[in-house]
Structure 1
Amino acid sequence: MVLAIAVVVALVACYWWFHPSLSLQSMQIWTWIVGICLAALLVLSVLAARSVKSAKLFRRLMVIPAAPIVGFVVGLLLSQPFFPGNAERYASVLSTTDGVFEQDIEEVDYSEVPVIDRDSAILLGNRAMGSIPEYVSQFEIADTYSQINYQGRPVRVSPLVYADLFKWFSNRDSGIPAYVLVDMVTQEAKVVRLDEPILYSDSEPLARNVDRHVQLSYPSLMFDQKSFELDEDGHPWWVYPVQRRTIGTFGGTDIYAVVLVDACTGETDFYAVEEVPTWVDRAYPSDLLIEQYNWSGMYANGWLNSWLGQEGVVCTTPGTNGQLGYNYIAQGEDIYLYTGVTSVTADDSSVGFILVNQRTGESHFYPVAGATEASAMASAEGQLQNLRYQATYPILLNVAGQPTYFVSLKDDAGLVKMFAMINIEQYQSVATGSTVEECQEAYLSLLAADGLLSEQEAADASVTVEVSGTIATIAQAVVDGNSHFYVMLEGDETIYDFALPGLLEIVTYQPGDEIAFRCGEKTEEAATVTVADLL
Structure 2
Amino acid sequence: MFLFWGMVNYFALPTLGWGYHGVFFEIFLTLVVAVVVRNIVEYEWHPVAWIAVSFALLWLVLGIASSEMCNSYRYQQMIDVEEVSYENFAEDINVIPVDRMVVADYDLACKVAEDKLEEDPGLGSRCDVGRMTLQNLTGSFVINNGVKLEFNNDLIWVAPLEHSGFWRWVKLDVTPGYVIVYANDPTKRYLVTEINGESLKMKYLESGCFSDDIERHIRTNGYLSSGLTEHNFEIDPNGRPYWVLCNYEPTIGIFGGNDSKGVITVDIQSGDVKQYAPDETPLWIDHIQPEHFVNNQLRCWGMYKTGWWNGSFIGEDVVVPTPGMVLVYSEGESYWYTGVSASKLEGNTATSGFVLINARTKEAKYYKVSGVNEMEAKRIAEDQNFAKAAQYHATSPVLYNVKGMPTYFMTFKGSSGNVTGYAFVAVTNRQAVGVGTSKKEAESNYLKSLRRTGNDSITDGPVIAVEVMTYTVRDITLEGTTYYVLFNEVKGKEFTGSSEFFRELKWTKPNDKVNVSYSEGSSQVVLLDSFDNLNFEF
Q: Let me know the Cα RMSD of the aligned residues.
A: 3.0
Contact 2:100 / 2:184 at 8 angstroms: preserved in 1? yes
Identical aligned pairs, as a percentage?
Answer: 26
Q: 1:455–1:49: structure 2 CA closer, same or farther, 3 Å change rule?
A: closer
Q: What residue is the counterpart of 1:112 in the other structure? A: 100
Q: What residue is the counterpart of 1:309 in the other structure? A: 314
Give the alignment of 1:121-520 within 5 angstroms.
Answer: 121-142=109-130, 144-151=131-138, 152-172=153-173, 175-187=174-186, 188-194=188-194, 195=198, 196-217=200-221, 218-318=223-323, 325-345=324-344, 347-383=348-384, 384=386, 385-454=388-457, 468=474
Unmatched tracts of structure 2, length 5 or more = 139-152, 466-470, 478-491, 495-508, 513-523, 529-538
Contact 1:237 / 1:261 at 8 angstroms: preserved in 2? yes
- 1:377 & 1:20 partners in 2: Cα distance? 40
Count of paired positions: 457
Contact 2:403 / 2:458 at 8 angstroms: preserved in 1? no
- Per-residue deviation, 1:224: 1.2
Contact 2:412 / 2:419 at 8 angstroms: preserved in 1? yes
Amino acid at match of 2:125: S
- Per-residue deviation, 1:469: 6.2
Contact 2:129 / 2:162 at 8 angstroms: preserved in 1? yes
Contact 1:389 / 1:411 at 8 angstroms: preserved in 2? yes
SS in 1 for 2:361: coil
Amino acid at match of 2:189: A
* Runs of 4 or more above 6 Å deviation: 455-458, 513-516
Contact 1:410 / 1:418 at 8 angstroms: preserved in 2? yes
SS in 2 for 1:308: helix
- 2:412 & 2:155 partners in 1: Cα distance? 19
Amino acid at match of 2:314: G
- 1:418 & 1:468 partners in 2: Cα distance? 29
- Per-residue deviation, 1:111: 3.2
- 2:285 & 2:472 partners in 1: Cα distance? 40
SS in 1 for 2:210: coil
- Per-residue deviation, 1:257: 2.1
1:269-319 deviations in Å (ceiling 9; x for gaps): 11112211111112221122111211111212210101232112121112x
What is the TM-score normalised by the length of structure 1? 0.79
- Per-residue deviation, 1:40: 2.7
Which is further off, 449-458 or 19-28?
Answer: 449-458
- Per-residue deviation, 1:450: 1.9
SS in 1 for 2:220: helix
Unmatched tracts of structure 1, length 5 or more = 1-6, 319-324, 472-493, 497-512, 517-526
- 1:279 & 1:452 partners in 2: Cα distance? 38
Amino acid at match of 1:334: E
Which is further off, 261-270 or 104-113?
Answer: 104-113
- 2:511 & 2:24 partners in 1: Cα distance? 74
SS in 2 for 1:251: coil
1:232-283 deviations in Å (ceiling 9; x for gaps): 1111111111111111111111111211111110001111122111111122
Contact 1:37 / 1:66 at 8 angstroms: preserved in 2? no
- Per-residue deviation, 1:149: 0.4
